[in-house]
Amino acid sequence: MKEKTYVNYLKDYGISDEQAKKRCEEIFATIFHGSDEERFFCEVGDDMGYMEDTGNHDARTEGMSYGMMMSVQMDRKDEFDRLWKWSKTYMYHESGRQEGYFAWSCAPDGTRNAQGAAPDGEEYYAMALIFAGNRWGCGEGIFDYHAEARRLLHYMIRKGSGDLQGCPMFDPVNHYIKFVAELDFTDPSYHLPHFYELYAEYAYDEDKKFFVEAAKASREYWKKCCHPVTGLNPEYGDYDGTPHTNPEHQFGGRHDWYYSDAYRTMINIALDTVWNGETEWAKQQAGCVLDFFNPKLEDGSWQDVYNVDGTRQDQKVLHPVAAIASNASAAVLAPDKARAWVEMFLEGGLRDGDRRYYDNCLYFFVYLLLSGNYRIW
């Protein structure tokens, strides 16, 4: 486990370490135990629970694994174990081509809406499980957190070889995480090199080298997919870094622009910086994004949707709080340029209404990050 000092970047905004920790606890309480209009964690029985995507009224591996990461960061073992047991009970494939993966979407009663997996869920499950084992120790059965993480990581890179049927979630040649295991393109926001370096410390011996290489490959992929002038990246990308285009009837519409999924990439770059140090490219990348959006603050056009080259689309963002949080996270690398975004982030707070799930997940992660409370355990 890495030992390091974490910076509270919010001190520049008058928020002490104690105040920041208290605010993290308040956000967690709102998301997990607030009123029916606020929370999206739902307890089930004595020992399970799920995170509801309040815009789509389902439970997704994205949200389940996000909730586990939030819980381990906040030292909340009960909520963590509830989410993990619900995931293993309803989402986990015990056999077949999807064996070892999790069905990406289930109804609140646990009925599967789909059988396939979304790799970002598996990525966060693995990282949260590793942290849980380090923070709380490993138990038995599904609560042997490190054993569960190692097995999941093995399936993610080894399916399709040996006796493991199905497709791996990482491309075996270029080491890129895929959008889905069965297709040969990626999602830039799925690239988590700061996770992969830690995977390499805990994975089976035969899997360690792969994740070391995956970390290197993902940092290079960021350079390919982020536009050199605007800094914007698409939701889905081809392996050469260009935006991936798909028929509009597929995956709910187009994904070649800077839109919902894409906001996570800047956050990932910022967290990689917090955990592993600043690079000149990351600093330039943050500057590009902020130089693109800062002139749009005055007239509100930051709320418009853009192609990665900066061409404006006649459409508004679906998740404005997430978009603000993404730009605020760039304060780790470009504090002066990001100041207005951090102020908006702090003043605006959490979102309410049906679309609060995704916005508030990203809001909480960025608050943890900026306050020095998103840590390696």
- Catalytic positions are 62, 261
Q: How far apart are CA 215 and CA 349, in angstroms?
A: 33
Q: Which of 207, 127, 214, 227 is nearest to 178 (CA)?
A: 214
Six-digit token string for 316: 């508004």
CB under 8 Å to 282, separation ≥6 — which residues? 269, 272, 273, 333
Q: How far apart are CA 377 and CA 358, in angstroms?
A: 24
Q: How far apart are CA 178 and CA 119, in angstroms?
A: 7
Q: How far apart are CA 373 and CA 317, in angstroms?
A: 28
Pairing relationship of beta strands 105-106 and 58-60 according to DSSP bridges:
antiparallel
Q: How far apart are CA 87 and CA 102, in angstroms?
A: 8
Q: CA-CA distances (angstroms) from residue 357 to 124, 156, 241?
A: 17, 27, 29
Euclidean distance between the first and the last CA atom of the chain, given in angstroms as a whole number:
6
Q: How far apart are CA 360 and CA 371, in angstroms?
A: 16
CB under 8 Å to 257, separation ≥6 — which residues? 234, 235, 243, 305, 306, 307, 308, 313
Six-digit token string for 61: 């591996």
Find out whether 41 and 67 touch, Cβ atoms under 8 Å. yes
SS3 306: strand
Q: How far apart are CA 156 and CA 11, in angstroms?
A: 40
